[in-house]
Amino acid sequence: MNFSKKIVYKNIACLFSCAIFFILTSCEEDLTKKNGNNSKNFPSQIINNANIIQRDSGFVILKAKAAIIEKYELIDSPYTVARKGIDIEFFDKKKPKLPGTIKAKYAKFFDYKQFYEAKGNVRITTNEGQKFAMQSVYWDQRKKRIYTKDTVYVTMEDGSTLVGANGMTAKDDFSEYTFYNNSGDFSSKRLSENKK
Q: Does residue 65 form part of some domain?
A: yes
pLDDT of residue 165: 87
Rounded CA separation 115/171 (Å): 14
pLDDT > 90 in the chain, percent: 29
Q: Does residue 3 form part of some domain?
A: no
Cβ atoms of 100 and 126 closer than 8 Å: yes
pLDDT of residue 52: 86
* Averaged pLDDT for residues 47-63: 87
Q: What is the pLDDT of residues 2-42, one digit of tens each?
A: 555 555 555 565 656 655 655 655 554 444 455 555 666 77
Q: Name the helix (H) or strand (E) containing 27.
A: helix 2-36
Mean pLDDT of the chain: 79
Q: Does residue 7 form part of some domain?
A: no
Q: Does residue 84 form part of some domain?
A: yes
Question: Considering its fold, how many domains does the chain have in total?
Answer: 1
Rounded CA separation 184/91 (Å): 29
Q: Does residue 71 form part of some domain?
A: yes
CATH of the domain at 47: 2.60.450.10
Flag whether pLDDT at 69 surpasses 70.
yes
Q: Does residue 51 form part of some domain?
A: yes
pLDDT of residue 38: 62
Q: 130: domain range?
A: 43-184
Cβ atoms of 188 and 196 closer than 8 Å: no
Flag whether pLDDT at 68 surpasses 80.
yes
105-129 CB burial, b ≥16 within 10 A, e <16: ebbbbeeeeebbbbbeebbbbbbee
Angle value at C-alpha 172, between 166 and 175, nearest 5 degrees: 90
Q: Does residue 22 form part of some domain?
A: no
Q: What is the pLDDT of residues 81-137, one digit of tens each?
A: 999 999 988 888 777 788 889 999 999 999 888 899 999 999 999 888 889 999 999
Q: pLDDT category, 160, cuts 50, 70, 90? A: confident
Rounded CA separation 51/68 (Å): 10
Amino acid at residue number 150: D
pLDDT of residue 31: 46
Q: Does residue 11 form part of some domain?
A: no
Residue among 170, 130, 166 at smallest CA distance from 150: 166
